[in-house]
Amino acid sequence: MSSRNSTYDGVAGEQGARSAGDRAVVRDAVGVGLAVGLSGFAFGVTAAGAGLSTVQACAMSLLVFTGASQFALVGALAAGGGPFTAAAGALFLGVRNAFYGLRLATVLRLPRALLPAAAHWVIDETSAVALAQPDRRRSRIGFTVTGACVFAVWNLTTLAGCLGAEALGDTARWGLDAAGPAVFLALLAPMLRGGAERATAGLAVVLGLALLPVLPAGVPVLAAAAAAPLVLLFAGVVGLRSKRRAD
């Protein structure tokens, strides 16, 4: 009898620990979803200030749903850039999601039928929460809950931001035109963890600011993308020299 009780206690303990772990993942995912999703208000205000209608801004949040890329696109439009130039700059930022997707595919191992829907939720936040989990079960929970929360709150606050901007009138008069760039930087800041990332960001800022007076709006963003290969080239040259000295 005592052996059976011990077995039962062990199983119950495992189930309790699993439930507690699942609740912790859900709690963290909801927190991330709410914190990031609320930034959609700033996007709605920025989009309205750039001349997009409420329908256009909301459609972008529903169909594009890439946060920083959306801010880059409306920022280029607000600066007078053409739609193709603005879209190209946003595309450069959005490409990173494809690399997230490759990693998440091996971690989540979702059924093939769910892949198209899951791909729409591959963003910085869902990737970070999913990849931080110790096993596949919790990675799936973290990815799903984070994606659902960010998607729902982001789209609702995009609508609220557009409607609020229309009610306020000129967003520049209230200083809300600075909300977009501020949130854009806040979304990118957590990615600058290593020396190479910070060097790339710094060089990109220098290139963008230097080229801003001489190139059409939106083009300096594309030119700033050259910072990444330049930093990689420099790091490779330094590494090669160090290796030669060591030999």
Neighbours of 196 (CB within 10 A): 14
pTM above 0.85, yes or no: no
Of 23 and 6, the one with more pLDDT: 23
Task: Give Cβ neighbours of residue 104 (< 8 Å, ≥ 6 apart).
Answer: 118, 122, 126, 127, 130, 131, 143
Query: Which amino acid is it at 174?
Result: W
Average pLDDT over residues 198-213: 72
Percent of the chain with pLDDT over 90: 21
3-class DSSP assignment, residue 51? coil
Say if residues 27 and 146 touch (Cβ distance below 8 Å).
Answer: no
Average pLDDT over residues 147-170: 86
Count of alpha carbons within 13 angstroms of residue 25, beta-carbon side: 27
Closest to 177 (Cα-Cα) out of 1, 28, 48:
48
Q: Residue 156's pLDDT is what?
A: 95
pLDDT at residue 41 above 70? yes
Q: Which residue has the higher pLDDT, 165 or 170?
A: 165
- Domains of the chain: which residue ranges? 2-191, 194-247
Q: Are the C-beta atoms of residues 89 and 76 closer than 8 Å to each other? A: yes
Q: How confident is the model at residue 134 (pLDDT cuts 50, 70, 90)?
A: confident
pLDDT for the residue numbered 5: 53
The Cα–Cα gap between 82 and 95 comes to 20
* pLDDT, position 49: 80
